[in-house]
Amino acid sequence: MPHQPRSVLVSALLVASALLATACGTPSGTEDEATSREPTAPATSPAPIATGPAWTSFKGPLQRCGPQPASVLEAAFKPTTLRDPAVGRIPAVRLGRGRVVVVLLHQTDGNALCGWLPFMPAAAEAGLTVLAIDLCRYGESDCRAVAEESFTDADQTDPVAVAVQYARTELRAERVVVAGASMGGSVALMSAATLPGIDAAVDLSGPVEWDGMDVVRRGRALDVPVLVAMATSEGPEEAAGAQEIVANAPEGSELLTPDSGHGYVLLNDTDGAVLPLAEEVLRWIKRRS
């Protein structure tokens, strides 16, 4: 092969480099793929689901209430038993040191007085003493009329009378309010209409036509102010009955009409946190003080 001059070889190399650059280049008006592609995120494990403190149960008499949230477990509850020879043995639990005592009457689901535990710390913080009891045929109550098979729903006021007497004599209450949820709400109104020593009553979703409610006579038999909370979702008959009770009750009575909810659900969420309606109930009770 003939010897090529050095200048010719250099020129040939420059032309080849230019052609190679043109072949590998990016078309005009487009971005280089390497710069336009989103960076790939490194593979990671799914974030763990956040969970709150585990619920645990009390030791002692309140163990029957089952696992509770921390806000309930931290409260200084004082379990006790109320006794009356004519009525029987009524388990109870109290919290707070206020001179206004609120006797709490439970609904039919749950474990009697246990359903009130989430509400009681907020009531105590508001300056009230709260006393939750087992009604006859529920929880660990031992009522004489039940044993004698003479008990009727109207007799649910008997354990309330024992609790009101305890509040007046042992707790030295200046005022006593009875408050109930669902069935307990009806019992609260029945008690306010028939028992001495009660200054006000709170009814949360109490059935207007519940057995024994005839003694209330749609509010006309009440001589103390009442607060009635009845959700519109309960239906037109219950809503109308609640309106009638409040309209016929003494001055200072009020009606709350949330959209939905029944009994305890109006007061606390599933984690025990206090709901706005519970705060309204506490404000109303304190105004009666």
Instruction: Please report the pLDDT score of residue 110 as a whole number.
Output: 74
Which contacts qualify for 33-41: CB closer than 8 Å, 24 or more apart?
none
Q: Quick check: is 44 in a domain? A: no
Give the whole-angstrom CA distance, residue 35 versus residue 275: 54
Classify residue 8: in a domain, yes or no.
no
Position 265 scores a pLDDT of 96
User: Structure pTM?
Assistant: 0.82
Give the C-alpha separation, 121 to 182, whole Å. 21
- Domain harbouring 146, CATH code: 3.40.50.1820
pLDDT in the model for residue 38: 39
Radius of gyration in angstroms for the set of CA atoms belonging to the chain, rounded to a whole number: 35
pLDDT of residue 213: 85
Question: Is there a domain that residue 53 lies in?
Answer: no
Task: Confirm whether 261 is domain-assigned.
Answer: yes
In a domain, 119, yes or no: yes
pLDDT in tens, the chain (289 residues): 444 444 433 343 333 333 333 333 433 333 333 333 333 444 444 444 445 568 999 999 999 999 999 989 999 999 999 999 999 999 999 999 999 999 999 999 879 999 999 999 999 999 999 999 999 999 999 999 999 999 999 999 999 999 999 999 999 999 999 999 999 999 999 999 999 999 999 999 999 988 878 878 889 999 999 999 999 999 999 999 999 999 999 999 999 999 999 999 999 998 899 999 999 999 999 998 7
Instruction: Identify whether 108 is part of a domain.
Output: yes
* Pairwise CA distance, residues 234 & 204, whole Å: 12
Q: Which domain holds residue 179?
A: 69-287
50 within domain boundaries: no
Residue 63 located in a structural domain = no
Domain count, the chain: 1
Using alpha carbons only, what angle is made at residue 279 by residues 79 and 202, rounded to the nearest 5 degrees?
Answer: 65
DSSP string, the chain: -PPPPHHHHHHHHHHHHHHHHHHHSPPTT---HHHHSPPPPPP-PPPPPP--PPPB--SSGGGGG--B-HHHHTS--EEEEEEETTTEEEEEEEE---SEEEEEE--SSSSGGGGGTTTHHHHHHTT-EEEEEPPTTSTT-EEHHHHTT---GGGGHHHHHHHHHHHHHTS--SEEEEEEETHHHHHHHHHHHH-TT--EEEEES--TT-TTGGGTGGGTT--S-EEEE--GGG-HHHHHHHHHHHHHSPTT-EEE--SS--GGGGTB-TT-PBPHHHHHHHHHHHHT-
